[in-house]
Amino acid sequence: MNEIKRNSLDFKRKRYALTAPQQKAFMTHMCENYEFHGWEPVITVLLGTGMRIGECLGLCWDDLDFEKRLIGVNKTLIYRPEPSNGCVVHISTPKTEAGERTIPMID
């Protein structure tokens, strides 16, 4: 097990956030290409909030407060294998308490 852990450290790379120009170029590319155009709303929310994809896909209307302009993150969508059904989508609570939070809506 120690050898596996040592080897897995070699594959971890530092991650960098997209700069504002990179985000704009990415969104422009998506909007200009029909095959990606449908993803624009989801990617806009992800870039604007910093949510994880499972958190974004787990949002319900009750999680959005348009008057106070707040998004409540209190569940996540997971894709889990099940022996009898193949893979099944489940809504569950975040893994940690830090995963439950409120995010302000931006324009």
- Residues 57 and 80 both lie in one domain: yes
DSSP, res 93: -
Q: What mean pLDDT is predicted for residues 19-46?
A: 91
* Listed residues 26, 50, 74: the one ending a domain: 50
pLDDT at 36 over 80: yes
Same domain, 46 and 57: no
- The SS3 assignment for 16 reads coil
Classified as helix, coil or strand, 84 is: coil
Same domain, 62 and 107: yes
Q: What is the pLDDT of residues 63-95, one digit of tens each?
A: 999 999 999 999 999 888 878 878 888 888 887
Q: Are strands 64-65 and 86-92 parallel, antiparallel or unpaired?
A: unpaired
**pLDDT tens across 37-58, in order?**
889 999 999 999 999 999 999 9
How confident is the model at residue 4, as a pLDDT?
59
